[in-house]
Amino acid sequence: MVPQEQPGLPLKVQPHEAPPQQGDAPPEAKPENAITLGQLVAEGFTLFTPALVVTHGLLDRDPVLEFNRTHQTEDPAERPFQIDCDYPLFQDLGASLLNGSLIQWDRRLYGIVDENWPQIRDFIAAMGCYDIPRQHYAKVGFHELRIVDPTALHSGRIYDELPTVDITVFCVSTNRNFVWMQWAADPPRSRAFARVDPPRADIQQEASAVLGPPPSPERVADFVRPKP
């Protein structure tokens, strides 16, 4: 199953394919579809954002590309796709230059067919990173979030209530903070944003064991989340 085209709406759905080799820029993808987020979910797709893994977890690569590199398939319907919206979905997430492409996180989502969602969910949720010189340690989790669907708001239809859509946010727990996505305080005039809370004690203990002093990067294996 692949998203079906409905021209005229402010949503660009593009394939998100892995480069043939590590470090290569992703191939350019032509816009293929234009439908609302709500229609995508109704047709059997899960929508998600790994923005915080990059912006606050400090991962230096696109988690979705990393998934594609390790989960090769010839069927494009099985792969995740990227969604870039003409209207912002979130606020103040910023932008990142990854694999030669500038990602505007306020306008970017990813999607995948529902039956393949558990694979990419567990892959990204198992990610972690550490940087001894910067004394940074982070692990990934996820939570659900309901946001206003701006593509529906700008579709020309009249709604009795705000059109919303449920997505998954990959949050990060670091040795300095716990960052998740807070729902909008006054939708649609405001949008969901990154909420920064104090760090969790268990993550600080893990970070101390790995980062030192003395640094012990081999201790990372002690804290790897077991596979479900």
Lowest mean pLDDT among 2-6, 89-93, 158-162: 2-6
Cα distances from 137 to residues 37, 200, 206, 217, 220, in angstroms, run 34, 12, 8, 11, 10
Average pLDDT, integer, range 86-99: 93
Whole-angstrom Cα distance, residue 15 to residue 18?
10
pLDDT at 28 over 90: no
The residues, any chain, with a CB within 8 Å of residue 214's CB and separated by 6 or more, are none
pLDDT at 193 over 90: yes
Q: Give percent above pLDDT 90 in the chain.
A: 61
Q: What is the pLDDT of residue 125?
A: 95
Q: What integer pLDDT is reported at residue 2 of this predicted model?
A: 40
pLDDT score of 85 more than 80:
yes
pTM: 0.84
User: For position 37, what pLDDT does the model report?
Assistant: 93
For residues 59 and 70, give the distance between their C-alpha atoms in angstroms, rounded to a whole number. 17
The H-assigned helical ranges of 126-224 are: 150-153, 201-211
Residue 88 CB contacts under 8 Å (≥ 6 apart), including other chains = 106, 107, 150, 191
Q: Which helix (H) or strand (E) holds 41?
A: helix 37-42
Mean pLDDT of the chain: 84
Expressed in percent and rounded to 5, the helix, strand and coil fractions of the chain are 25, 30, 45
Q: Which of 33-37, 78-82, 133-137 has the lowest mean pLDDT?
A: 33-37
What is the average per-residue pLDDT within 13-39? 53
Tell which phi-psi region holds residue 100, choosing left (phi > 0), alpha (psi between -120 and 50) or beta.
left
Q: Give dist(CA 72, CA 9) in Å, integer.
A: 31
Check if the beta carbon of residue 173 is closer than 8 Å to that of residue 189. Answer: no
Query: For position 155, what pLDDT does the model report?
Result: 79
